[in-house]
Amino acid sequence: MFDTTKQRVIRVIGHKNPDTDSICSAISYAYLKNQISDQMHEPRRAGEISRETQFVLDHFGEKLPKLSVDMSPTISYIDIRQEPGVDGEMSTRDAWQRMNDRNIDTLCITDKENNLLGLITVRDIANANMDLFHTEVLAESHTSYQNLLSVLNGRLLTGDPDGIITTGQIHVGTSPEAMEELVHKGDLVMVTNRYEAQMCAIDYGAACLVVCMDSAVPQKLIDRAADMDCAVIQTPYDTYAAARLVSMAAPVRFFMKTKELLSFNVNTPVEEARKIMASVRHRYFPILDQNGKYCGVISRRNLLNMHRKRVILVDHNEKSQAVDGLDEAEILEIIDHHRIGALETGGPVYFRNEPVGCTATILHAMFHENHVDIPKNIAGLLLSAILSDTLMFHSPTCTLVDQAAARELSEICGEDIDEYGKKMFEAGEDLSGRDADDILHTDYKEFNIGDKTISVGQGFYMSEKAYKEAGNLVEAYLPIALEHSGNAMIFYMLTSVLNQSTELLYVGKGAEDLACSAFHVPAKDGRIMLKGVVSRKKQLIPPLRERLLS
């Protein structure tokens, strides 16, 4: 059966369009939490990674975190009722008894590999039991003698215990005279202690004789039945009870529903399931695991006991930058180095926000505070994040704390800061096989300022060739991106690491006037040169925000 508790790990995740700090901090903090907590933490990513980040992961032998694009709860976050599937050969009598014993009105029929074949409800069994004139039910359903013996609590006096009923109708025998017109070859006949009636049923070709009330059956009659290939079953029930029970020997597969079954996967969003469940009258719904195998059932009542996904946010604290469905998740912690945005939580959380150049710098301190040694690969990830976010210490967001942390981490992982940093940035600016949309959105964030939403992408380039090629591609694509985004404006920071400057590309009504007035510089050929500006967080957004709100 599917273990839902395994799904309920704590996800450590960064922002959409993740940069190197977002990915490396998620991996590193998940590692730290697993060392100091008895709960399982897993790093996740909220989008595709850049080539720079892929270089870092490959260099230090780290796996790419799983993709999580939505934190809305799924069926796996509901307490699934672990109701085993039943064999299609189970008698309807046993199915009804099972429903009573387990206080459930629906059973799911599965094969040996747990594939869902159908389902049967108590209503289906009631309808079958009320169909008093369906006297061919045992033959049509190919009922086994094992089912018949079980339902009648009977004893087989002669016949094949592994046989199958394939022909005939069900009759209650009365007088020998009546049987002459009533009984045909292959029928099942129920009689009591009248020897003549018993023998007539056999002689008229009955395939099965059910002797009620444990009435005596002479050996002569048993021998005659064996010669005529007629099974004889002795049951303690009277004729009325036996007549009511016999049709319930039919297997559930004969009555089960197989078409248009309403089932859900463990990854089905709860909200989607809720809407479907509200539109039908079913009470229980089968659940399939990731491999399409049956693993249990849920009802509307189970939706009341939903477990929210538990998440820890790193490198962001604004809803516009967070993964979708965050308002339906339980936020446990936030570790960040950006301004505090308008993110609301359902309760108190551990919130750590420090004015440093990188989230990884904060995590470096947390490793020491918790007396946890930093492994070589984690040290490499943290170092990479710091070098990336601080532009190898050239960004105005860089602090002495960032530099000290980077130096210590470089000693642990055995990397030369200048040499490794250059390789990392060169890997990130490789444009081969990339289109304008990929370049724009590799490091891309949305900001809600007043009544407007603006987006800012950024790319860092070491070589003049990559710098010019990226600028031309993005510039031509910005109008298309604006049309699809629904935002008021889009800016792209074409940042030169060597020159420590940014050429600002823009699109949107009022974007040029906003940027020119915010930085007091003119535009030239649809671009604005911002010398000394390399930080989106500290140098670009604050002036734009101030101007928009003025």
| Lowest-pLDDT range of 81-90, 275-284, 287-296 | 275-284
Alpha carbon distance 195, 288 (integer Å):
55
Cβ–Cβ under 8 Å, residues 425 and 460: yes
Can you spell out the DSSP letters for 4-30? GGGG-PEEEE--SS--HHHHHHHHHHH
Q: Considering the chain, tell me which residue range(s) the CATH 3.10.580.10 domain(s) occupy.
A: 76-128+254-305
Mean pLDDT, rounded, for 483-491 = 93
Task: Taking residues 415-443, report their average pLDDT.
Answer: 91
Share the mean pLDDT of the chain: 93
User: What pLDDT score was predicted for residue 180?
Assistant: 82
- Rounded average pLDDT over 75-82: 90
- The answer as to CATH 3.40.50.2300 being correct for domain 142-249 is no
pLDDT tens digits, residue range 165-206? Answer: 999 999 987 788 888 888 999 999 999 988 999 999 999 999
φ, ψ (nearest 5 deg) of residue 234 = -105, 125
Using only the alpha carbons of the chain, give its radius of gyration: 37
Structure-token pair, residue 126: 């009631």
Instruction: Say if residue 367's pLDDT is above 70.
Output: yes
SS (H, E, C) 322-377: CCECHHHCEEEEEEECCCCCCCCCCCCCEEEECCCCCHHHHHHHHHHHCCCCCCHH
Q: 142-165, pLDDT tens digit by residue?
A: 999 999 999 999 999 999 999 999
In this prediction, residues 7-29 reach a mean pLDDT of: 93
Cite the residue boundaries of each domain of the chain with CATH code 3.40.1390.20.
Answer: 142-249
What does the pLDDT read at residue 2? 56
- Mean pLDDT across the stretch 311-336? 93
- Average pLDDT, stretch 307-321? 92
| Domain limits, CATH 3.90.1640.10, in the chain | 4-73+309-428
pLDDT at 377: 97
Which one has a higher pLDDT value, 132 or 545? 545
Residue 5 clears pLDDT 70, i.e. is over it = no
The answer to whether 155 touches 234, Cβ cutoff 8 Å, is yes
Q: Which CATH architecture has domain 4-73+309-428?
A: Alpha-Beta Complex (3.90)
pLDDT at 130: 86
Residue 3 confidence (pLDDT) above 80: no
User: Is a pLDDT exceeding 70 seen at residue 7?
Assistant: no
| Cβ count within 10 A of residue 97 | 13
d(CA 314, CA 31): 13
Q: Which CATH superfamily is domain 436-549 in?
A: DHHA2 domain (3.10.310.20)
Q: pTM score, two decimals?
A: 0.70
CATH class of 76-128+254-305: alpha beta
Tens of pLDDT, residue by residue over 243-282, are 999 999 999 999 999 988 899 999 999 999 999 988 887 7
Residue 541 scores a pLDDT above 90:
yes
Rounded to 5°, angle at Cα 93 from 91 and 94: 70
pLDDT at 418 over 60: yes
Contact, 189 vs 206, CB < 8 A?
yes
For 519-529, the pLDDT digits (tens) are 999 999 989 99
- Mean pLDDT on 301-312: 88
SS (H, E, C) 219-284: HHHHHHHHHCCCEEEECCCCHHHHHHHHHHHCEHHHCCECCCCCCEECCCEHHHHHHHHHCCCCCE
Which residues contact residue 113 at a Cβ distance below 8 angstroms, ignoring those fewer than 6 apart?
A: 293
Give the rounded percent of residues in the chain with a pLDDT score beyond 90.
78
Q: How confident is the model over 375-384, as pLDDT tens digits?
A: 999 999 999 9
Task: Tell whether the model's pLDDT for residue 403 goes beyond 90.
Answer: yes
Q: Give the residue-averaged pLDDT of 405-433.
A: 93
